[in-house]
A and B are shown apart, each in its own frame.
Chain A
Amino acid sequence: MRELPSRREEAWRWADLRLAERLRAVPAPANDALPDLDSLALVRPAARAVLAGGHAIESAGRPTHPAPDRSIAPHPLADIAAAEALAGLVVDVGEGEDGGLLECVHLGTSGAAHSVLRVELAAGARLTLVETIADAEADHWSNIRLDARLGEGAELVRILRIETVHGLASTRAHVALARAARLAEVSMIASPAAVRAETHVRLEGEGAEAVVNGVLLASGSAALDVVTRLQHEVPHTVSRQLWRLVAAGMGQASIAGGVAVARHAQKTDAAQSLRGLLLNRTAAVNLKPELEIFADDVACAHGCAVGEIDPLQRFYLESRGLPRPEARALLMQAFAAEALHALADPELSQPLADRLAGHLGALA
């Protein structure tokens, strides 16, 4: 059995993998009662795949037991997913085709569930992938691996929405971009539980562009842990990262935001903004920019700050008639909503903004 990573390792210091340890040997049952699946959908109508406890319940695309992309570097959790997945999904979009919108719902039931998604976009192909991770009323470990490859000029819009309440959700997405390919990714992670979400992007062709944004809302005793790594392998590639972390209660929200520029990747244009908002003094936000730059003619802007709600801004809103919780919610929304701007299509951004507003209202 593969070893789980330990908190003693720098890359895992903020991750809470206790449920993975506990449930590792407990496979999720195939026949747990399921909640109303329609209420889990972000956008309707969409082609949909549902995996409950790692078993395929409903499927769009090609439900199989996909083989992982073996060319990708090893990763402790993604490799466990590849070895133990019972089901998964393969999405191939042919040259110049529009794959439309695909929503993939992972439902944690109980026990450990692993799945593998493979996305292959040929040259000029397009796809919007909405991944939702939610759960029923039991502890679980839902471990998901996404291997995506974007051909020349292909475009992937990915929304990762994690709204778990009980379990540990862990995901690792690996996205490789050929020349002039584009990735726009927005994560919304709102949970009082444990989450580890990694996005690893390789910009392998000139003119490739990746936007990797997200909002984390840690409530209760959450341990939300995000790791990104945008790897500029060739000259003339662009990356943008904008993350907004909100922590309340005893919650902890963390991000290690990585940008790596290879030795010959001149004219890389990378920017990263990490900001945290603490709603009370028992909550915690960890921000760690990780920049590894081995080329000299590059632009890598980065900024990083943690703060609290500005009492004067709140008073200004209150003095105009907003009750305090509404004033706080409005300021929190203003803080977080910037991350959703990466979604150009209001059909995607609006329902996500509505969900976000709902979560923030509950925290205010």
Chain B
Amino acid sequence: MLAITDLHASVGGTPILKGLTLSVGAGEVHAIMGPNGAGKSTLAHVLAGREGYEVTGGTAVFLGQDLLAMAPHERAAAGLFLGFQYPVEIPGVSNLLFLRTALNAQRKLRGEPEVSGAEFLKRVRAEAQALGLDMEMLKRPVNMGFSGGEKKRNEAFQMGILQPRFALLDETDSGLDIDALKVVADSINRFRGPDRGVLLITHYQRLLDHVRPDRVHILAAGRIVESGGPELALRLEAQGYGAIAA
């Protein structure tokens, strides 16, 4: 589904990713773990196409398309979703209006008809209920006045409404208490499916207690240094990153 080969990327002229290779198949959930500064968030932003994250080498193929040649909105329409580590506050833009505009922009690019207001609201109600989000809150400006946990739940909510093919979740578990962690983990588990892929970027093992990954990769100094099954995450939790880097 997503095949990254020998990816090099720089931010502000500093090389961060140095030959990263990783492949996620349909129906799979992969986790990337790694110490601070390893390049985890850079990978997420490079894949989503953020300006200032310069690809200096390598390829990323998503569903047969050259991901790196696409504009950010085209990547979204192709089915890529980035769950932000720090969801952005946007004053004056209603969360629901924004989401409906985004959904219809994606559908337009894919040549699909617009979603009607009634159909959209039906989806919104179902997803809000599943995530324990208040409808009034969702009408507020995007992420304004949301707590850290609410922002992460709002990311999961957007994923639920936009129904992407592939979710790239950047530290979705940070800033969540135990209950919110379970709610968000449930939404990822609901998202899982035979034609969908997930890449979880995380510091800690605890999210992986709720979302069992098929593969775990360790990212250090801009490359994948070790890959394995879920047991790798447990070993990491016990031994720390120091042992890996050594």
Contacts and interface: CB of A to CB of B under 8 A. Distances in A.
Interface string A320-341: 1111101100110111011000
17 contacts: A317-B98, A317-B102, A318-B71, A318-B76, A319-B48, A319-B72, A319-B73, A319-B84, A320-B102, A321-B73, A321-B103, A324-B73, A327-B73, A333-B92, A334-B91, A337-B92, A338-B92
Contacts of B87: 316
B100 to A, nearest CB: 11
B162 A323 contact: no
Contacts of B162: 320-321
Interface of B: 48-52, 71-73, 75-77, 82, 84, 87-88, 90-93, 98-99, 101-103, 105-106, 109, 141-142, 158, 162
Nearest to A336: B92
Interface string A298-327: 000000000000011101111111111011
- Residue in B76, B99, B162 whose Cβ sees the most chain A Cβ within 10 Å: B76
A269 to B, nearest CB: 24
3 nearest A-B pairs in the assembled complex, by CB-CB distance: A334-B92, A321-B106, A321-B76
Contacts of B109: 321
Interface string A167-211: 000000000000000000000000000000000000000000000
Nearest to B168: A319
A311 B102 contact: no
Contact of A311 (B51, B75, B141): B51
Contacts of A316: 84, 87-88, 90, 142
B165 to A, nearest CB: 13
Nearest to B103: A321
Contact of A323 (B52, B91, B103, B105): B105
Given A315-B72, A326-B105, A320 B91 contact: no
Interface of A: 311-313, 315-324, 326-327, 330-331, 333-335, 337-338
Given A313-B88, A320-B102, A330 B93 contact: yes
Contacts of A317: 90, 93, 98, 102
B98 A320 contact: yes
Contacts of A322: 73, 101-102, 105
Nearest to B99: A320
A322 B91 CA distance: 17
A321 B76 CA distance: 5
Contacts of B50: 315, 319
A312 B85 CA distance: 13
B242 to A, nearest CB: 33
B120 to A, nearest CB: 14
Contact of B82 (A311, A319, A337): A319
Contacts of A318: 49, 71-73, 76
Given A315-B72, A321-B76, A331-B90, 10 more contacts: A311-B52, A312-B88, A315-B48, A315-B51, A316-B87, A320-B99, A321-B102, A322-B73, A327-B73, A331-B93
Contacts of A311: 51-52
Nearest to A314: B51
A334 B141 CA distance: 9
Contacts of B82: 319
